[in-house]
Structure formats: C-alpha cells, structure tokens
Chain A
Amino acid sequence: MAFTSSGNLSSAEMSTRDAIGAVNRAKRIDKIFAVGGILVMVIAMGLLFALIGDLVVRGLGRIDYDFLTSFPSRRAERAGILSAWVGSILVMLTTAFLAIPVGVAAGLYLEEYARKGWLSNIIEINVSNLAGVPSIIYGLLALGLFVYGLDLGKTILVAGMTLGLLILPIVIVSTREAVRAIPRVIKEGAYGLGADQWQVMWHYIIPAARPGILTGAIVGLSRAIGETAPIITIGALTFIAFLPPAPVSGDFPFINFDWLTDGFTVLPIQMFNWISRPQADFHVNAAATGVVLMALTLSLNGIAIWIRYRLRREHHN
C-alpha cells in the first residue's frame, strides 16, 4: 500500500490494485454490518412478536362477556376480571388527576420560570434520577409514608398517589420538551402586548404545548396501568370480590368519593396472581388478562404516537 518516493510504474499499479481491494473489502464489511443490523432487529422483534402472538393465541379465546363481568373465583373457568378492570380504571383516574396538573406545573416552572442556578440544577438532576428509580422503591415510599406514616390504608387513593409520583418525571419531561418547541415569537408577541407572565402561560404557552403534554401524559398513564410492583408493595389485596361504590349516583350530590378509600385490585395484580398458581387453567386466565392489559397499553401508546406524528407533520407544513 505504501507509496514509494521513487514513483516507478509497477508500484503505482500495485497501489491502485490495493486500493480497489481495500474498497471492495470495505464494501463487503458494510454489507455484513447492514445485514447484521437487520438480522439482530428481526431476531429481537421476531422473538417479541412470537411471544405476544403466543399470548394472544392462548388468551383470546378465554375473553368473553362472562370473563369481563365476573369476580375472581377459586374455580378457574368461573373467574373473571371485573374487579380488576374497574380497579385499574379508578386508579388511573386518580393518577391522572394528581400527576398531570402537578407535572405540567413543574415542567412549566423549570422551562419558563426557573433562573439558571444551583436550585434549578438540583431539581433537574433530581427529576432525571427519579425517572430511573425502580418502581418498587416508590412502593416502599408509599408503604412507609402513605400507609404507615399517614395511615391512609391500602386504598385506591394511595395507589393513585403512588403511581402519580411514579409517572411525574415522564409528565415533567414531556411538558418541558413541548414548551421548549414553541416558537419564541409567540411569547414575545404576548409580552409585547402587555400580558404578564401567568397570562402568557395560560393563554399562549399551555394551549400551544397541549399536544406534546397530552402525549407525555398518555405514555405515563399507559406505564402506570401496567405497573405491578409498587401496588404489591403497598399490600393491595389480590382477591377482591366486590366493587367500590360507584362514583356517580342518581341521588344528591350525584358524585361521591367513597371509592377513593376502598380496597381494590388491578389488572396486572390479577394476572400476577393467576401466573403464580400451579394449575394450567389459571394460566389461560392469566394470558387472557395479559391480552386485555396489552390491548390497553398498546392502544394508549398508539394514540400517543399518532398525536406526535400529526404534530410533527404540522410543524413541517
């Protein structure tokens, strides 16, 4: 390969041939890389899709009207997930109600109000660390603080608060990203017309950031729906054969919050409970619950991805 200073013809020919060889070799390695990349992706995705397909094949046949409207039972063929999906929805409502306003407020503060300094630095490191704290640690926090410290019991409210804290970093980060993407001129125009800071936030920043915030909130909620560990840690029962009182009733004052202080179970807990049993019939129930759970989380995420996709297209146009 080396060029010699004498520059005779044969060595020049040699180096050309070498160069062609090197290029061909590089092209071959390139192909190996590209094929390897695709292969790894196909293997990983293929494995996952095979597993999900297996779950659907085993579980889908078990899902019928009775399965969705029955309480858990000692007999596998009679058991259903009524208390579990009602519990999941009520816990989700509580989580959304707590985490979204607080998360959006915190994100707004960090992006629009906070001056660069040690305090905002600490909060930033802190949020990024919280996003990586294992979910079971949130369970221990809730057990020590809410269940034993504040004596709130093992209720829907406690589960909602626990999962709310868990998804707070997700909501904060997505709010910050959404706010950061808003063109400065909108803000400056509003300030120029004499709006104060809160007016700018309320009338311009929050509406403009809404799709991004929504995406983050949905992703957070879909994570919360699938969380099992923190709910087990606060000691949620797994055998619940009753429903909490309905939140809406025909009598005055039409809405009540008694359900917040009720015991509950949720879909992932029910699934975990059935997986842990030795009988194969219960494993079919577990697969069916898994299908319901996956349908919920995947459709939530699908919605979030769709919103973001539309948002990006609008930005481009």
Chain B
Amino acid sequence: MAPTRIPNATELVASGFVARRKLLSRVMSVLLFLCAALSVFVTTAIVVILVSESWEFFAQVSIIDFLTGTMWTPVFANPQFGVLPLLLATLQTAALAMMIAVPMGLLMSIYLSEYANPKVREIMKPALELLEAVPTVVYGYFALLVMTPFLQKFIPGLAGINLLVPGIILGIMILPYVVSVSEDAMRAVPNGLREGAYALGMSKWQVALRVVVPGAFSGITAAFILGMSRAVGETMVLAIAAGQNPNLTFDPREGAATITAYIVQVSLGDLPHGSLAYSTIFSTGLVLFIMTLGFNLAGFYLRKRFREAY
C-alpha cells in the first residue's frame, strides 16, 4: 500500500478545496446566526400575535374598563369585560404559593449550601431536579383529588374547587426551582468571605444569615421573582383545581378562575374564532405576558448582578 501523497498548499488552492471550505464555513456561520435570531423572532411573534389578535377587542372595550372592571362575563347577553376577578385569583394563588415557597425555599437553600455535607447535597440536588420534572397535570390531579378532600376535613367551608389548595400545591411545585437558583447564588459567595467571618468568631448560622444571605441577596431575590413568574403563568393546576368560574373574592376557600384557567376554558369550548368573546383569550394572554415579562426581566438583571459581583 503506497502512502497517499499529501497535496501541497498551491495544489489545494488550485483544486478549489480551500475555496469550498471557506464557503461552507461562511454559509454555516450565517445559518447558525439565523438559528440564534429565531429566538428573537419568537418573542416578536408572541408580541405581534397577542397585540394584533386583541386589537379588535380593545377597539370595542376601553382599556380602562378592561383593567378596572369587576365583572367578567364575556358570553352573557350583556357582556362585561373587567379583568380584575381573573387577575385577583391569579395573584392570590401566586401569593399563597410564595407564602409556602419563600420560607421553605430559604431554609432549604441555606441548609443545602451551608450545613449539608457533600454527600447529602449530591443526593438532594438530583432529587430536586427529578421533582421539577413532574408534569403539572399530575400536580393538578393531586390538588383536586387528593389534597382537597384531605384538607376539607380540617378547614370548614373549604369548597371542592378552591384557591387555597392549588396555591399550596403551586408553592411546593416551584420549590425545587427556587431552591436550585438561590442555592446557586449562595454557593457563588466566595469562601474567603465565609472564612473571614469564621475567623472573627461567627458561628454557622451567623455566617449564613449575616454574610452568605446578604452576599447572595440579589440572586435569592431573583430566585423568588422567577418562582413568582412561574406561579403566575402556571395553568393546569389552576384549570383543574381552582375552577373556571370568574369570582371576585378574597376568600381562598372559594374557587375562582385565573387568567390561565380562563384561557383553557375558552380553548376547550366552541366559541368561533373572530368573535369578541374569543378574542378575550388574547387580551388576557397579553396581560399575563406583560406581567411575566416584568418578573423575568427583573430576575434576569438580579441574577446577572450576582454573577458579576463575584
């Protein structure tokens, strides 16, 4: 077997090999750029679709009435389009979720980052990740068919469809995510700060609360804001367990439709595309998108800050 002769540079250029490679490299870099730009296109498309589909709606219903009205009855003979009942139910369940997720998440992430030995952490981190993978429809099943009947024994007046249980389930659902982001932030606090504090005679909890938590503050806040964003946008748990009846209430034992549950309800029904009632899913969707966009941007900048700080 004769060894293949390796062509020299002049021959490579002459045969067009170099030109071909150059062209391929160029084409691929453009292609990769287009793929990256697709993500910008998706965001633009979301905004364009939500605005254009609700354009007709806002031509007939004033934005002021929409944002301040307390009645949501789009399919009645005399329809009312006040988004407040949906918004209140959305914020109420999200607030309940935060009441569960904030204290528990804070304690768990302090424990994992400052107290737990590496072996426990090695097991806990993947376990939390696995819990993040449970489909939300399964959480909906838990809320409606397991937790609600159970809690009805203890809480008088708790309706079969209510805001309280989905709120609690939502809190537990976002817990793994909140813990993983805030624990990352705490781990990012440089060890030198901890060692300095220990050298001054601080104990573990003092280091945790006076050095690590303040040091990781922006990251921890980001974790809670991003968790809030998830709670606000969560759909299935609420569509299943919080009901589909718009209800302006401050009593979490009652059921009330959230924005997401309302969109699901209309999607399952047979309202014709193009009708005013149908276009409400896009106008309420727009409200939801703007809210979560605010949370996401705040979370992004706070996270970026803790990454830059250390």
Contacts and interface: CB of A to CB of B under 8 A. Distances in A.
Contacts of A181: none
B133 A297 contact: yes
Interface size class of A (residues with CB under 8 A): 35 or more
Contacts of B260: 134, 136, 229
Interface string A153-196: 00000000000010011001000000000000000000000001
A43 B135 CA distance: 20
Interface string B128-155: 0111011111101110111100000000
A293 B296 contact: no
A226 B137 contact: yes
Contacts, number: 266
Interface stretch (A32-40, A70-78, A241-249): A32-40
Interface string A290-310: 100110011011100100010
Contacts of A225: 135
Contacts of B133: 219, 222-223, 226, 297-298, 300-301
A91 to B, nearest CB: 14
A174 B104 CA distance: 28
B32 A134 contact: no
A11 interface: no
A51 B134 CA distance: 11
Given A33-B110, A38-B111, A275 B32 contact: no
B205 A30 contact: yes
A123 B288 contact: no
Contacts of B300: 125, 128-129
Interface centre among B32, B126, B146, B175 (most CB of A within 10 A): B32
Nearest to B274: A148
A199 interface: yes
Interface string A124-138: 011111111111111
Contacts of A196: 21-22, 25
B267 interface: yes
Interface of A: 23, 26-27, 29-30, 33-34, 36-38, 40-41, 43-45, 47-48, 51-52, 54-55, 101-103, 105-106, 108-110, 113-114, 122-123, 125-141, 143-145, 148-149, 165, 168-169, 172, 196-199, 201, 219, 222-223, 225-229, 232-235, 268, 271-272, 275-276, 283, 286-287, 290, 293-294, 297-298, 300-302, 305, 309
Enumerate the 8 nearest inter-chain pairs by beta-carbon distance, A residue then B residue, closest first. A37-B111, A134-B233, A226-B135, A26-B203, A144-B49, A105-B35, A229-B235, A109-B32
Given A33-B115, A222-B133, 19 more contacts: A26-B205, A33-B208, A36-B111, A48-B131, A51-B142, A105-B32, A105-B36, A122-B40, A129-B296, A129-B297, A137-B233, A140-B53, A141-B50, A219-B133, A228-B135, A228-B235, A232-B264, A275-B141, A286-B141
